[in-house]
Amino acid sequence: EEILINIASKDFLDFQFKTMSYLTQLKEAQVKTQQLCAVSTFVKQFGQNKCVYCKFNFSFMGGSIGCAEGAKLIKSIEYAKQHELPIIIDAGSGGVRMQEGVLALMQMFSTVQALQDFKQSKLMSISIFRDPCYGGTSASFMYQTDVQIGFAGARIGFAGPAVIQNTIFDGSQETYDKSVPAGFQSAEKAAQNGYLDAIVADDVQLSVFLEKLLKLTKKSFCQEQEQDSVSIPAQVEFSYRECRGPTHKSPEYYVKEVFDDILKFYQQSIQIALCSLHGQNCLVIFSTCDLTEPLNCLGSPQAYRRVSKFVDLASRIGLPVVTIVDTAGALPSPAAEDNNQAQAISQCLNSFGSCKSPVVAIITGEGGSGGALALSGGNIVACLQKSFYNVISPEGGVSILQGSIYSKADAEKMKHDFQINCEILANAQQCYSFQIYKQGIVDIIIPEEDCLSNMKKFFGKFFTQFADMTGEQILAQRKQRFYKLCNYTVEDNREQALQKDWQNIKETPPMPKHQKSIADVADPILQKTLQFIAQTTHKASPKSSTKDLVIPTVNYNVEQIIPTMKQILQSEGRDAVKQKLLSLDHPMITDTSFRDAHQSLAATRYRTKELIQAATLLEESQIPYQNLIFSVESWGGATFDVAMRFLHEDPWSRLHQFDKALPNTLQQMLIRGSNAVGYTRYPNNVVEQFIIQAAQNGLDVFRVFDCFNDLDQMEISVQTVLKKTNKIVEVCICFTGNFLDENEKVYTLEYYKDVASRIYKKWPEIHLLCIKDMAGLLTPQMAQPLMEVLQQATDNKVPIHIHTHDTTGGQIATLLAFVDAGAKVVDLASAAVSGLTSQAPLQTFLKFSQQKYKEINFPNVFSNYLKYDEFWQQLRRMYAPDYEFIDCAIRSPAADVYLHQIPGGQISNLHQQCISMGLGDQFPKLKQIYTEVNMLLNNIIKVTPSSKVVGDLALFMLQNKFTVEQVQDLYQMRNVEFPDSIRDYLNGGLGIPHVGFNNKLIQSVFKISEQQVKDRVLSQLELPDVDLRQLEQKAMKLRPWGNAKLDALSMAFYPKIFEEFVKYEVQHGQIIPNLPVGTFFNGMKINQKISVQYQQKQYEIMLKRVKSPNFQNDVVYVFQVSAKDIQAGTFNITVKSEVQAKQQFILAEETQNNHLSLVLGQADAVAGKKNEKVK
């Protein structure tokens, strides 16, 4: 029967939006649906029970709520209340109807008010969510009914998907799809979160559900005659563990066997059902038991809140409540705490405490903690014969208490005694059924024998006992029952009671005394180290490896062939080394793995700790004693500034450690003439003292070069080694071009002969002459002619050393050709760090040259070299994720080096600079521009630092999209400032290239005329000496724990970098370089242990725990640290939320993690003045 049929929607705003008329829309909807508004109301019957049924029609303007719909709902609710009928609202709706403006919005408030008035009666309200149900419909009356039912797959929410997508995700469908969680706005998700009480598949299932729901919520009375009380059984002994396990009956079993006509709601950790027993309808609440997933048996906040809601409903409509409890307690999960588990339990206790219907609770197994009490607030509380009820589980209690009983030394015994202690605690707390019965906690014990029959009898007795009681009487009885459960005493003499009774109280024995904790004695530097580890762990990806390297074991013993080159140097002098090299009929090797190899592949980022591990392995292999290794290149070049700038290490310490690890192997370095280990000219006294100190601290071979092959620039370095040390000097000729090409006009064979002749004439006593091919341009065909002119120029009295890079992939053939032509030493790198922009592979070269090494045990030496390479393989894999740009510049041999001629050590750096400028994809174009810039600068030799000039100008042109023609045009460049390195180069800061300068470029850079260029005089004036004594004093103040003489030199080369290095040491301490490589880059994993050496003491560090972030997103890392003879101590290190992404490069601003510094340059223009306000 339809009622309220005349209520109709109205266009009271005369709404018109462009061509859209609300009046037209209304007419079309009314004709289409044959309804006057979107809601139809019926008096409907399900089985024997009538109800008022309000049905939304989605075909009527999307089932939206206007004023007519609001009025009809309110009148329907009033009709149901007047006729004492339940009300059901069945809605699929898009929300409030916008064509009726704010008046339509007001219906949300009015309908909710009407439902609240309805709830004052003892009648039930039900809402049914169809697809879709959004906006003002779901956000008002639909969630204010007593029971909410949803259709499977229905979309339910407040804001529709289109609104969310456009408001939050800027209209991006892709971002929306990636961001929303699984089951977003679905009926199933709403039920899971406790917002729907049931899910139905279709209208047929809905009708069956509603019929049963209306039947079981109807007031009824127990039909059984009053029965005798259940007899208290005999006391039995049992363990609390018997109340658990697969043989133990679940609450659901008792519900199925005891009750009739069961209607279950959506299953959660606590199940709710409407049932009937002896003709009495009742609400039954019972614990869920899932033996496959025990956590599912623990009550969630959503479950407790749903219980609270249904208990409130039962109280209002007069349904008795039965709870069957078997749970270890409430769910103690992070998600539960986020959902305020405490509030949910409190709400549940309040609902039971205020329920005016009788409540009976029965504990059928375990009653654990407040989670069980929240379901056990009954007028009568019973338990089965084998059950227990406790404030905490025995396991939880023992875990808390045993720490006060056992010492840390008794950890194994504590573990062994755990289960026995649980039994002891359960008895001590008197939690078993007969014990809690005596305390009055339960009112009756139901025998296990004939349990189902006894349960039915017990419930029947309960129903009849409270049938005639009013709600107020039921409340009063329950309150008095729980008030009595409080055991305490009243002291007449408070002061006396607070005094200790020595006679009657047994004093707790003192805990055994332990040694001092490391937390009391640890140096502050250890605290800083832990802070560093915590911050590094915080920044690292969870997938990052934190493992340390495994040092391979050398399997093969080889006989020593002595003396080594270093032993000859020490015993006979450097000329003896020179003569020894000239007399050999096999090539000697300089191993560049320790310096130039990782400079070329990894921007010189390998740490001293790992390099010394490799050096130690090399020493253990006995390879240095095989008349095979000339030297290891371990120092110089970029290692000096990179050590301080990026690795936070003292470069002098690296030199000391190499000297110790390889005591009988020559240590070799690269020195850039008057530039030393820097990128500009330095005063002579700085270069001189640097060489002297390096020689005194373990350096043996000084490879000296100048980027323009200018002998004057090498003078101070060569002369200092020759006159003021007893070490070896190796003078370089930097190689470029192709003298085999008939079009080559500058770098011809005659050019190299002339340079070699001038070197030999100037310094005939030098010990080696090196061809330094930084780009890898040498070919096998060049070997014979080049070696001939070099030998002629030096009267065949100076050993020739060949250095090249394997960028093209063919340099092993080149080196073999040079050896055949008379080269005495070649540069090679261990296979794992060879190839590409590094040197050719050492192990492969050895195999190819096997016949030349007749006096060594080649098979065993070669096998040991393979073991040596295993370490480098690990090291390169370990470093690759942190220096991913290593293999991004080139991943395979690159023959285009013959065109652009970029040095091997520069390619990876140039590529990274491109990436940092946002131009990573334009690296191929940069190489092309580099070629053009090279010719613009008259095809200079490209070796550090001249190669940096070419690279900086190429990057400058790429970034600004300048052509070669433009940068030479003074007018076009009149307002453009060039990079500092270009200006310094053109001012003669690196010396004067023998090919001269480009005059047009000078005009553009310095904004001068052609005549001014001609009149310009570049004088290579000697720089004034630096006051090194004054620098030493400053170094002593800055770094009192260091070597002032050596630190003064570091400061002379890199004053700002040195100060930043010292600042880092002060902030983080000096243990950092000793950390294992995995820890240095990626921190630690939980329960990982590492050992760190510091000040003659070995510390064992373990990361015990990473606490969850607080509200400020700060994280606490808990470390346990121990050392010999000192008790372990715990350190809590807090990492602030601002520590975010990894920083691999220098920051332009220290406070901005993502602001990386780019190529150094000058401002294009200054638009304001100092202190001027800018709007």
pLDDT given for residue 340 in this prediction: 93
The torsion of the CA quartet 66, 71, 72, 76, rounded to 10 degrees, works out to: 140
Please name the residue that has the structure tokens 């023992």.
398
Evaluate whether residue 681 is within a structural domain.
Answer: yes
d(CA 398, CA 419): 9
In sequence order, the 6+-apart residues with CB closer than 8 A to the CB of 54 are 39, 40, 41, 72, 73, 76, 87, 88, 89, 90, 91
In sequence order, the 6+-apart residues with CB closer than 8 A to the CB of 635 are 595, 651, 654, 655, 658, 667, 668, 669, 694, 699
* 990 and 1055, same domain (yes or no): no
Q: Is pLDDT above 90 for 1077?
A: no
Is 815 within 8 Å of 825 (Cβ atoms)? no
109-153 pLDDT per residue, tens: 999 999 999 999 889 999 999 999 999 999 999 999 999 999 999
Name the token pair of 293: 């997933």
- For the chain, give the percent of residues with pLDDT over 70: 90
Q: Between the CA of residue 150 and those of 126, 197, 217, 630, 883, what are the distances in Å?
A: 11, 8, 19, 83, 54
The domain spanning residue 1084 has which CATH number? 3.10.600
Domain stops at, among 1015, 1047, 1067: 1015
593-635 pLDDT per residue, tens: 999 888 888 878 889 999 999 999 999 888 888 889 999 999 9
911-938 pLDDT per residue, tens: 777 877 777 788 888 888 988 988 888 8
Domain stops at, among 882, 916, 934: 882
Name the token pair of 699: 């350096």
At 1019, the amino acid letter reads: S
d(CA 29, CA 37): 8
* 372 and 323, same domain (yes or no): yes
Name the token pair of 584: 């050999």
Q: Identify the three-state secondary structure at position 378.
A: coil
Evaluate whether residue 1156 is within a structural domain.
Answer: no
Rounded mean pLDDT of the chain? 87
Evaluate whether residue 360 is within a structural domain.
Answer: yes
Q: How confident is the model at residue 673 (pLDDT cuts 50, 70, 90)?
A: confident
Evaluate whether residue 816 is within a structural domain.
Answer: yes
Evaluate whether residue 869 is within a structural domain.
Answer: yes
pLDDT given for residue 228 in this prediction: 61
How many DSSP H helices and E strands does the chain contain? 46, 29
Please name the residue that has the structure tokens 């020179």.
578
Judge residue 1073's burial from the number of C-beta atoms within 10 Å of its C-beta, 0-12 exposed, 13-18 middle, 19 or more buried. middle
Q: Which helix (H) or strand (E) holds 684?
A: helix 684-696
21-52 pLDDT per residue, tens: 999 999 999 999 999 999 999 999 999 999 99
* 740 and 618, same domain (yes or no): yes
* 28 and 101, same domain (yes or no): yes
Is 95 within 8 Å of 122 (Cβ atoms)? no
At 1084, the amino acid letter reads: M
The domain spanning residue 335 has which CATH number? 3.90.226.10
* 673 and 759, same domain (yes or no): yes
Q: Is pLDDT above 70 for 658?
A: yes
Burial 942-967 (b: 16+ CB within 10 A, else e): bbbbbbbbbbbbbbbbbbeebeeeeb
Domain that holds residue 410: 394-428
**Closest C-alpha to 427, from 238, 163, 580:** 238
DSSP string, 840-897: PBHHHHHHHTGGG-TTS-HHHHHHHHHHHHHHHHHHHHHHTTTTGGGGTS-SS--TTH
At 277, the amino acid letter reads: L
pLDDT given for residue 1069 in this prediction: 78
* 253 and 171, same domain (yes or no): no
Q: Which helix (H) or strand (E) holds 530?
A: helix 524-539
* 932 and 863, same domain (yes or no): no
Evaluate whether residue 1173 is within a structural domain.
Answer: no
Q: Which helix (H) or strand (E) holds 768?
A: strand 768-773
* 438 and 419, same domain (yes or no): no
The domain spanning residue 676 has which CATH number? 3.20.20.70
* 244 and 285, same domain (yes or no): yes
Average pLDDT over residues 882-895: 58
Residue 767 or residue 1004, greater confidence: 767
323-339 pLDDT per residue, tens: 999 988 888 888 888 89
- For the chain, give the percent of residues with pLDDT over 90: 50
d(CA 350, CA 360): 16
d(CA 755, CA 773): 15
Domain stops at, among 1015, 1035, 1055: 1015
In sequence order, the 6+-apart residues with CB closer than 8 A to the CB of 785 are 739, 740, 749
Neighbours of 991 (CB within 10 A): 22
Evaluate whether residue 50 is within a structural domain.
Answer: yes
Evaluate whether residue 1171 is within a structural domain.
Answer: no
Q: Is pLDDT above 90 for 771?
A: yes
48-106 pLDDT per residue, tens: 999 999 999 999 999 999 999 999 999 999 999 999 999 999 999 999 999 999 999 99
* 729 and 791, same domain (yes or no): yes
Average pLDDT over residues 713-734: 95
Neighbours of 91 (CB within 10 A): 24
* 973 and 947, same domain (yes or no): yes
At 839, the amino acid letter reads: Q
Q: Is pLDDT above 60 for 1148?
A: no
pTM of the model: 0.66
The domain spanning residue 924 has which CATH number? 1.10.472.90
Is 751 within 8 Å of 734 (Cβ atoms)? no
150-195 pLDDT per residue, tens: 999 999 999 989 899 999 988 889 889 988 898 999 999 999 999 9
For the chain, how many structural domains are there in total?
6
d(CA 1030, CA 488): 80
The torsion of the CA quartet 217, 223, 227, 230, rounded to 10 degrees, works out to: -30
Dihedral sign, Cα of residue 311, residue 316, residue 317, residue 320: positive
* 298 and 202, same domain (yes or no): no
Number of residues assigned to the chain: 1175
Please name the residue that has the structure tokens 């809140």.
305
DSSP 195: S
Q: Which residues pair with 390 in a beta bridge?
A: 368
In sequence order, the 6+-apart residues with CB closer than 8 A to the CB of 660 are none
pLDDT given for residue 1150 in this prediction: 47
Average pLDDT over residues 1084-1104: 87
**Closest C-alpha to 776, from 912, 893, 601, 910:** 893
d(CA 595, CA 604): 7
